[in-house]
């Protein structure tokens, strides 16, 4: 599954949209495939750190752990260190 396919119905803000337009598209597609594999809610990954932390469940936490640094950089508009995994 590509990034475009996974996020086609997910509303995103301008900051996220700009970030994704400038990001490595292959890394975005790779990240999307991992989110799909983990059955993670893609909306949680289009949010900021505060919302990620608030809405992420086990699937999302497992998915973020599976992402490479390159994929995280392409997908996330926040640094993983900004969220509390506990």
What pLDDT, in 10s, does the model give residues 41-82?
Answer: 999 999 888 889 899 999 999 999 999 999 999 999 887 777
CA distances from 68 to 10, 11, 27, 28 (A): 23, 24, 9, 11
What are the CA-CA distances from residue 51 to residues 12, 14, 84 (Å)? Answer: 13, 16, 11
Number of domains in the chain: 1
Q: How confident is the model at residue 1 (pLDDT cuts 50, 70, 90)?
A: confident
Report if residue 63 sits inside a domain: yes
Which pLDDT does position 84 carry in this prediction?
A: 67
The whole-model pTM stands at 0.89
Per residue in 12-35, pLDDT (tens digit) is 989 999 999 999 999 999 999 999
Classify residue 86: in a domain, yes or no.
Answer: no
Give residue 26's domain range.
15-78
Q: Is residue 4 assigned to a domain?
A: no
Q: Has residue 86 got a pLDDT over 60?
A: no
Do the domain assignments include residue 8? no
Look up residue 66 and give its two tokens: 């599976």
Cα–Cα dist 30/32, whole Å: 5
């Amino acid at each position: 599954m590509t990034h475009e396919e996974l996020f086609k119905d997910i509303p995103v803000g301008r900051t996220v949209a700009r970030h994704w337009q400038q990001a490595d598209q292959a890394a975005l597609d790779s990240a999307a495939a991992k989110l799909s594999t983990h059955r993670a809610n893609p909306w949680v990954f289009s949010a900021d750190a505060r919302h990620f932390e608030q809405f992420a469940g086990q699937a999302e936490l497992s998915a973020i752990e599976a992402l490479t640094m390159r994929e995280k950089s392409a997908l996330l508009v926040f640094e993983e260190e900004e969220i509390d995994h506990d």
